[in-house]
């Protein structure tokens, strides 16, 4: 399958340490099976960094490897309380020490208003069910997180847009 990474630079070599901390599934390398989502992310990165141009790097990944090569894979097939707890704990982690040992995590993207919703949950203005509902992205869009050298070794760059 093709997976897309949106950025302000072309990705030739994946450096897991360059991934931002406090993201949905932790610090790592994120890809989308949705090319439009990757394009939007590229534009967001350009706006945030105030440099570069939107670039989508395309990778090939054999999804059969998820079961065949002993990768530790966590799959969230839909929004759930388990997913929202996992995202919340990773969003709170601003260190370089991961909270989990999964090679790959697949699941829905959280909405960027999550910081506000986390505060409301912490203050007990909303419960976990409402928190999960509030952090759902405007359209259900999924992402792949590659968090280990082992996992990224199965990605093959095939081009850019």
pLDDT tens per residue across span 49-74? 888 899 999 999 998 888 877 899 99
Give residue 112's domain range. Answer: 2-160
Residue 83: closest CA among 66, 54, 107, 101: 107
109 has a pLDDT exceeding 90: yes
Within 13 Å and on the Cβ side, how many CA atoms surround 64? Answer: 0
Q: What's the whole-number mean pLDDT along residues 32-40? A: 94
| Number of structural domains in the chain | 1
Please provide the average confidence, as pLDDT, over all residues in the chain. Answer: 92
83 has a pLDDT exceeding 90: yes
Both tokens of 80, joined, read 């759930």
Three-state secondary structure call for residue 62: coil
Q: In 3-state terms, the chain is what percent helix, strand and coil (to 5)?
A: 35, 20, 45
138 has a pLDDT exceeding 90: no
């Amino acid at each position: 399958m093709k997976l897309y990474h949106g950025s302000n630079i072309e990705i030739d070599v994946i450096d897991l340490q360059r991934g931002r901390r406090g993201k949905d599934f932790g610090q790592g390398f994120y890809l989308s099976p949705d090319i439009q989502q990757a394009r939007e992310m590229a534009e967001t990165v350009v706006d945030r960094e105030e440099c570069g141009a939107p670039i989508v790097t395309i990778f090939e990944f054999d999804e059969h490897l998820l079961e065949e090569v002993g990768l530790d894979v966590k799959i969230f097939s839909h929004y759930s309380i388990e997913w929202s707890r996992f995202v919340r704990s990773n969003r709170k982690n601003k260190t370089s020490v991961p909270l989990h040992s999964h090679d790959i995590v697949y699941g829905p993207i959280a909405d960027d208003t999550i910081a506000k919703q986390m505060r409301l949950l912490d203050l007990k203005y909303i419960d976990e069910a409402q928190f999960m509902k509030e952090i759902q992205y405007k359209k259900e869009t999924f992402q792949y997180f590659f968090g280990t050298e082992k996992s990224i070794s199965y990605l093959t760059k095939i081009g850019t847009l």
